[in-house]
Amino acid sequence: MKKLILSGIVALSALGVSMPAWAQELSFWSWRQEDKAQYEKFIKAFEEKNPGITVKFETFEATNYNTILSTALAGGSGPDVLFARAYGGLENVANAGYLLPLDKSNVPALESFAPAAIAAETMRSTKVTYAVPFASQTMLVIYNKDIFDANGLKEPETWDELVQASEKLKGAGIMPFGNGTATAWQNEVMVGGIASTLMGRGFYDDLMAGKADFTDKRYVEALAKLKEITKYFPDGFIGLDYASSQQLFASGMAGMFVGGSYELANFKKQNPDIKMGIFAMPGMKADDEKLVAQYFDGGYAVNAKTQHKEAALKFVNFLASQEFGQMFADELNNISAVPGVSFKDPLLAEVAELNKNSIPYIMLVHFRFGEPSGSVLLQGEIQKLLSDKATPEEVGKNLTTGLAAWYEPFKK
């Protein structure tokens, strides 16, 4: 039936008859090259239910995606539907008027999304939403269950227990952590994954209320502990890049890895036999609230100049549906932002549980809206801290001073 409909469309087109909105090919751009096979599967499910609409999925290298997309949109072209960044990355594109506003009138499912997810795809100044959030990511500690079991270890409940576990692994000839920090953004991951519990929810709340900055004792002491635990990182970790770090953990040479929930699928792909567990970094005392750092990873947006608005919105409504969210979680082993999705993978279900005790991944969520970017500042400062070129106090001061260039609460 679908072939008959499509052949009819081609015939009408040849006669110069204008096509209805549903009889269109949509272009769909993404930076997720590694997910292409899964997205083509998702698209097939959409096309089967929407005869006449076809979707061409195109992927680009992640680091160049923003430039390629902005250039195309500025030229009045670009895709019909696109992956959009979140937070500050979204505002750069939305501010230029390239994206179609989305709300409950054209994407009704948005009304049920979590406020934090919607905020990630909303302009702060106008409160207009421009994309359907697609995933959340969580900074935590991943560990190799077989290594822990073989060494009689359990998930640590206190900082001292973490140190003791690290010592035991080191004594057994196993790297306690596989992490390196030569890849700049990994320095920010270290702060989210290691320091969130240590700085505490109270610090985060005070920071957002304008009652604290990064010179606060709670933040500075958390950075000191971060530096302390890196004695259990691989020798020469400052020169160890991201891919090499991943291999150390995936191969079973390291017992733990500080990273995002996005690592779980990747490690399983590298080593199908690996058995993993996860935990939130413990605090100094067993009853300290254990926190993970969470952020929303991007969204699906519509080109404001698309010639296929009706079809594009139909596709975006599919991407906002629970049907799609469930496929996303099942196929990509990732935390979908769509409400009501269940997680068949036990580790994903555990991530979702840990997210109930989270604070935002601070620099990405709150401090990428101006220059200098909080993430760029933090990544450089942590590298200096770990290279013994700055103290925790100096890092806190430099972060606050740098952000004061555009962040009003720090200008006092």
Return the pLDDT at 2.
44
User: Tens digit of pLDDT for each residue in 314-356?
Assistant: 999 999 999 999 999 999 999 999 999 999 999 999 999 999 9
Asked whether the domain spanning 137-295+353-411 has the same topology as the one spanning 2-135+297-352, the reply is yes
CATH architecture classification, 137-295+353-411 = 3-Layer(aba) Sandwich (3.40)
Low-confidence ranges of the chain (pLDDT < 50): 1-19, 21-22
User: What residues does each domain of the chain span?
Assistant: 2-135+297-352, 137-295+353-411
Tokens read off for 52? 């006449």
Cis amide bond preceding 409, omega within 30:
no
CATH class of 2-135+297-352: alpha beta
Return the pLDDT at 92.
87
Per DSSP, 303 falls in state B
- Beta-strand relationship, 254-260 and 175-177: parallel
Return the pLDDT at 412.
75
Return the pLDDT at 17.
43
With b for 16 or more beta-carbon neighbours within 10 A and e for fewer, the 105-144 pattern comes to: eebebbeebeebbbbbbbeeeeeebbbbbbbbbbbbbbbb
Q: Report whether 396 contacts 223 (CB < 8 A).
A: yes
Q: Report whether 122 contacts 128 (CB < 8 A).
A: yes
Return the pLDDT at 20.
54
Return the pLDDT at 23.
66
